[in-house]
């Protein structure tokens, strides 16, 4: 099984278990902050399911209909997950406001503290695993899922802190207040994730630092070509698409030109797996003086119309 799909399936199982546990404890304790965490975990579960099914499609190879592959499905998944996080935050704020105005008492605070501490630990460990796989496979869908869980860790710690304060001080309004603070953190994470996942859908160029690496690889072979231009790049899921124009000596053998292209493409792929590089080679002008080591860059002398070429080259 692809490591991305395997990690996504593991995330589905863990999110389901934690969401169920939080809902049960929220019903027992009557805590709106624990309920908000249960809602958050439920949306994490939905997001994990979306990531799981989208990744199963994204790993499929290119075909006649999708000639550039299915990579952008990952970005669609990331955008949907970000929107789910955002709406979850709005729901938490609404519920917290209702509890704050109407007033409510949290029962079985000790049980709530124990469950939130357990959930924080589990989500922290799983988020580390997802981040590790996401970094290794460059998967935006898994990164979105990992960000969900990282946010869940922060919000669980916030709820835990609120419950501890309630137990120590007895001030019940700290529960909805902590839930609102949690929602603000969730909104921030949703905005960041939306920007990261949505940009590739518009074919935004690769980050500047990545393009600098690609340019440095090309320049390693500068003794083999005259210059390059029209470098373009974009990303779709874990796949990077790069194309450029390269000017080579006029009389450079085609076989050697092909070898240069292969070398550059392989070196880029070694650093950025799943890269698709397209290099358009152009001959230099006949007056070029940068390739004297191969001899004069001049086209073959045309045969006059009233003369026939000597088949023996004389």
What pLDDT score was predicted for residue 69? Answer: 67
Q: Do 215 and 231 form a contact (C-beta atoms < 8 A)?
A: yes
pLDDT in tens, the chain (314 residues): 678 888 888 888 888 888 888 888 888 877 776 777 787 778 778 878 888 888 887 777 776 767 666 677 777 877 887 787 787 778 777 777 776 676 555 555 677 677 778 878 888 888 899 888 888 887 877 887 787 777 777 777 777 776 777 777 767 666 677 777 777 877 887 787 787 777 777 777 888 899 999 999 999 888 888 888 999 988 877 788 899 999 888 877 888 888 999 999 999 988 888 888 999 988 887 656 555 544 444 444 444 455 444 444 44
User: Global pTM?
Assistant: 0.59
Q: What residues have CB less than 8 Å from 299, skipping those under 6 apart?
A: 250, 286
How far is the C-alpha of 97 from the C-alpha of 92, rounded, in Å? 9
Tokens of 278: 């397209």
Return d(Cα 105, Cα 285) in angstroms, integer. 83
Closest CA to 172 of 114, 100, 117: 100
User: What pLDDT score was predicted for residue 216?
Assistant: 92
CB-based contacts of 120: which residues, under 8 Å, 6+ apart? 153, 156, 157, 160
247 phi, psi to nearest 5 deg: -95, 125
């Amino acid at each position: 099984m692809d490591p991305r799909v395997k990690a996504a399936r593991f995330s589905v199982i863990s999110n389901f278990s934690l969401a169920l546990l939080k809902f049960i404890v929220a019903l027992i304790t009557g805590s709106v902050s624990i309920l908000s965490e249960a809602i958050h975990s439920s949306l994490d579960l939905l997001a994990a399911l979306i990531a799981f099914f989208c990744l199963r499609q994204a790993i499929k190879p290119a075909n006649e209909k999708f000639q550039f592959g299915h990579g952008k499905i990952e970005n669609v998944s990331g955008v949907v997950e970000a929107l789910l996080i955002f709406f979850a935050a709005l729901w938490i704020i609404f519920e917290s406001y209702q509890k704050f105005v109407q007033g409510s008492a949290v029962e079985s605070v000790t049980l709530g503290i124990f469950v939130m501490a357990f959930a924080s630990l589990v989500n922290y460990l799983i988020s580390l695993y997802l981040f590790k796989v996401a970094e290794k496979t460059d998967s935006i869908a898994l990164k979105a899922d990992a960000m969900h869980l990282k946010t869940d860790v922060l919000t669980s710690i916030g709820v835990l802190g609120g419950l501890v304060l309630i137990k120590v001080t007895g001030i019940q309004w700290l529960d909805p207040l902590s839930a609102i603070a949690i929602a603000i953190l969730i909104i921030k994470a949703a905005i960041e994730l939306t920007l990261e996942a949505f940009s590739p859908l518009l074919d935004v160029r690769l980050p500047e630092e990545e393009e600098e690496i690609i340019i440095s690889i090309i320049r390693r072979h500068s003794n083999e070509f005259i210059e390059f231009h029209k470098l373009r790049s974009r990303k779709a899921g874990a796949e990077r698409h790069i194309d450029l124009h390269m000017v080579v000596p006029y009389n450079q053998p085609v076989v050697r030109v092909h070898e240069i292209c292969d070398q550059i493409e392989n070196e880029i792929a070694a650093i950025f797996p799943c890269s698709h590089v397209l290099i358009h080679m152009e001959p230099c002008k006949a007056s070029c003086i940068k390739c004297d080591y191969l001899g004069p860059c001049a086209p073959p002398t045309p045969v006059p119309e009233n003369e026939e070429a000597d088949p023996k080259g004389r």
